[in-house]
A and B are shown apart, each in its own frame.
Chain A
Amino acid sequence: MGSDFYQQSILPYAVIIIKICRAYTHSQEDFEDYYQEVCLQIWRSRDNFNAESKWSTWIYKVALNVCLTHLKQRKRGEQQFVSDALPDEVHDDAKAFGSDDINLLYNAIKHLSEIDRAVILLYLEEKSYAEIGEIIGANTNSIGVRITRIKERLNKFIKAQE
């Protein structure tokens, strides 16, 4: 991958990738691994980019698709999809954010299913229901109901942690 491509087409959107990868990883090592994987796939798939949609929307799609199908070689030598194990079962050393609130919120998000994580991340990024539907491939009408349910679960979790 050319350094220019990274500087011009990925780095300005690195925040998107960071926010998504954090939700699917439990350690700094995993996070860096996923971040690099997303960058690699953006570069590899760049010719598939459809200029009718926004570049940022496309980055959300690639990042989520990579996180949903990324393999991680765990210490016991088993290969599995990312975030396969429940957060309770793994040591989470990814307290990467300065804000305690954000760390708490991410911890709660990591207790959700992979798809619910994607939905809530896009919602928090202020994507419209139509955009969330486009990125994930879901019915716009069902997004609102799902978000309400997810928020209830998150609030419950956060309340229990406080």
Chain B
Amino acid sequence: MSKSIEAMWKQGFVSEGELSAPKVNDLYNRKSQNIVDKLQNMFAVNIKAIVIGALIMLLVMSLIGAPWLGLYISVLLAPLVIIAKKELTKSHNLSKGQSSLEYLESFDAWLKASIDTYSNYYRFFYPLFYIGMVTQGLVSDAGTKVMVVLLKYYPTEYVFLAIPGYIWVVITLLFLLIVRYSEALYRLDLDIIYGRQFKKLDELITDMRALKSGR
């Protein structure tokens, strides 16, 4: 090798006029691909989707004779709208003009705090959603007919509210499973979608902290 890398760099860019900037087209309307912006877009879309979804649920459930379930689900989804709005506001405070380490750390902190907030919400949402669905199923005409058939073919002396004891056991076990794994379910979902990026982010921060500490 005849040249140093410094010389290669300097001589290679002697005429910086040769470096032509690409055309910038319609930047104002450009859809950002930065992960922060992507998540911001997701939060914004989520808010709209939740509101629309809740209204559709209310309408559909009313049409099939379960207006209270529709209302119940809408009420369950309301905190999600509030959470998403708050997280969106927080994310807008992240500045990209910080040092790389500060930026990545603030981004990581925001991301982790957001995930924790959503996890807390889903820990309650899944079990409560399940309770609503089960209750509606049990009090519906179809549900009542199923219970009658079950009691006919699988009679038991343990019956509560016209529901066989073994159905209560199944319902309770499923409820406990949902309570136990609702947060894990949310995090698994997150990991499938964003696991690779999160891992990469951790690696970047670890590398930068090593550089900061002088290692």
Contacts and interface: CB of A to CB of B under 8 A. Distances in A.
Given A39-B24, A58-B97, A137-B208, A142 B34 contact: no
Contacts of A141: 214
A98 B196 CA distance: 36
A136 B100 contact: yes
Nearest to B197: A81
A102 B13 contact: yes
B24 A6 contact: yes
B22 A31 contact: yes
Contacts of A142: 211-215
Interface in A107-162: 113-115, 118-119, 124, 134-139, 141-143, 145-146, 151, 154-155, 158-159, 162
A71 B99 contact: no
Tell me if B's interface is mostly helix, strand, loop or mixed: helix
Nearest to A160: B1
Classify chain B's interface size. 35 or more
Question: Which of A17, A50, A105, A138: most chain B CB closer than 10 A?
Answer: A138
B160 interface: no
B104 A69 contact: yes
Given A15-B16, A35-B21, A71-B33, A137 B197 contact: no
Contacts of B152: none
B83 interface: no
Interface in B77-98: 95-98
Contacts of B200: 80-81, 84
B40 to A, nearest CB: 11
A136 B99 CA distance: 5
Contacts, number: 173
Nearest to A98: B18
B5 interface: yes
B39 to A, nearest CB: 10
Interface string A6-19: 10000100110111
B67 to A, nearest CB: 40
A161 B48 CA distance: 54
Interface of B: 1, 3, 5-6, 8-9, 11-13, 16, 18-19, 21-25, 27-28, 30, 32-36, 38, 95-104, 107, 196-197, 200-201, 204, 207-208, 211-215
Given A39-B24, A134-B99, 16 more contacts: A18-B21, A19-B19, A35-B21, A36-B22, A37-B32, A71-B34, A81-B196, A98-B18, A104-B8, A114-B207, A115-B100, A115-B204, A135-B100, A138-B212, A139-B213, A154-B5
